[in-house]
Structure 1
């Protein structure tokens, strides 16, 4: 079953935030408009907690990391703009996910900073979380960072454990897989150009349209290294958390306004009548 009141795949290019659009706000307008729609849907769902899967948070080699601080704070600077965000952490849910995963032999660790609780217990909030959360309601969060040292199958398994925890929680929980896609679309970009970028993004869009997210686990490592996506791992966690038979997917948009691909998609329960396209 799908225990989440709302779920989505969302990008984290900083210029998506209106305050950071600079002199070219049209550059990510399509994605920004899609994020505003996702934000409205999230507000309508009235979550108590939002779980954010981000590739850019605190990384632990060989372990998933789960936020367990009192709160999280971070900021993003771009195009002479500044945007900051602070959120409290749903520590009960974070610890429940960590406990459930450990009981199933999934390498995972909860992390904190400074003090056990109180205002000094504050972890950094990365742009992979800040950008999508900037469109979402101000509710407590749980931030989970994947580990690329772990297999794709382990990422799916973590999602399955999250599904069980959310079912038992009696909370209205939402899920965001924060994902940018291939980063090698433009030779002027920091990662250069590789034709694998367009090919991989095309396959990803196809998997989203056909509701076959699990097929991303079949990508060859050399192909991934050439295209340089950062969304596969979070998407596979989401695929475990909301299995294929329990989900429909509504693709809002795909664009490549700079050197990396941006996708916005909503995941709904299979009981909901939604056209996948």
Structure 2
């Protein structure tokens, strides 16, 4: 994209008036923070001029002031201007993340997303700086410049998307719009809100399972209180915790059909440790394996009696019992290789040790499934 010389000169002038020096850098390839948004803009037909600005290591307040300089420069040119603040949120959201893993790093992303959703950028400006450092982010100062550039504009904060497929938080959001711009439909925002909520919740549940196993295997103790907070963890529910290797091989899976603990948090802790150490199909997990394991948590609904024709292995899990209720087998829903209700029932019956043709009582249940990457 061609350089906008007029805009750049205006920014340099306004920055100098606030005692900031803007230094030009030539002869280097664009960094990802510039190249990625330019790629998507140009792919969608944008052909305008651009000024690529890097942030500094000055104070947070300096970055806010520099944003105001950009606004004044744009006003001087008299032309419509779009400001794109580029960078990533936490780099430590999953074990395979590029900056290492921290089970609490998601709290930084959660605060950023919720602050924008609630149109409260001051929460981001005043965020706990220790939390920011723990998250290993690279987009915070870009956001500060954006907040400084838009502080005189009417807020129109909107979360468009948030995801973290590789252990790095990617947020797409709008913080201000020109007068007269149309708003997205509320239903679209509701979908985004729901998706972000589920991602945060899934991260909390699987992180708790991982923390429980790693603490027990390394230190031979059960964590007393989860360090991750989510309202769902205080509910009472049954769950299964599954552990798989990096290659996708099952390493342990144990759970409860009915709640055995007072909270889901305690249910996850107990079942996670049991999956790692008491699954009779496998030896206990060794410390050397911990970095190569992936976790998933299935939270079960209350089972309900069902007829065979009411089963659907993609939607419902199944519980089979003999007529006296002495033997019981369970199979979770949506498992690879289980395509029909007959397959599902037969596998569950074999797990219960029931002979073929044994009269069965059937129950079905739904699950909410939360996975780490690689735990499919």
Instruction: Establish whether residue 160 from structure 1 lines up as the match of residue 68 from structure 2.
Output: yes
* CA positional deviation for 1:232: 1.1
Instruction: State the Cα RMSD in Å.
Output: 2.0
Q: Tell me the TM-score normalized by structure 2.
A: 0.45
CA contact (8 A) 2:115 2:123 kept: yes
Structure-2 separation of matches of 1:103 and 1:165: 11
Structure-2 separation of matches of 1:245 and 1:138: 26
The runs of 5 or more residues in structure 2 that have no matched partner are 190-376
The structure in which a higher percent of residues are strand is 1
Corresponding residue of 1:146: 55
Corresponding residue of 1:124: 29
Match of 1:257 among 162, 165, 181: 165
Structure-2 separation of matches of 1:193 and 1:244: 38
CA contact (8 A) 2:108 2:135 kept: yes
Match of 1:135 among 40, 46, 65: 40
In the superposition, relative to structure 1, how do residues 105 and 270 fare at CA in structure 2: closer, same or farther (>3 Å)? same
In the superposition, relative to structure 1, how do residues 172 and 245 fare at CA in structure 2: closer, same or farther (>3 Å)? closer
CA contact (8 A) 2:15 2:22 kept: no
Instruction: Establish whether residue 189 from structure 1 lines up as the match of residue 189 from structure 2.
Output: no
Spell out, residue by residue over 1:197-244, the C-alpha distance to the aligned partner (whole angstroms, 9 max, x if none).
210100000111112223222223321121111111111111111116
Structure-2 separation of matches of 1:274 and 1:244: 19
In the superposition, relative to structure 1, how do residues 270 and 228 fare at CA in structure 2: closer, same or farther (>3 Å)? farther
User: Number of residues paired by the alignment?
Assistant: 181
CA contact (8 A) 1:94 1:110 kept: no
Corresponding residue of 1:111: 24
Structure with bigger gyration radius: 2
CA contact (8 A) 1:213 1:235 kept: no
Structure-1 separation of matches of 2:28 and 2:8: 14
Corresponding residue of 2:10: 96
Give the structure, 1 or 2, with the largest relative contact order (CA under 8 Å, sep 6 or more).
Answer: 1
Spell out, residue by residue over 1:139-163, the C-alpha distance to the aligned partner (whole angstroms, 9 max, x if none).
211011111x211111111111111
* CA positional deviation for 1:247: 2.3
Structure-2 separation of matches of 1:221 and 1:211: 20
Corresponding residue of 1:232: 140
Corresponding residue of 1:274: 183
In the superposition, relative to structure 1, how do residues 271 and 195 fare at CA in structure 2: closer, same or farther (>3 Å)? farther
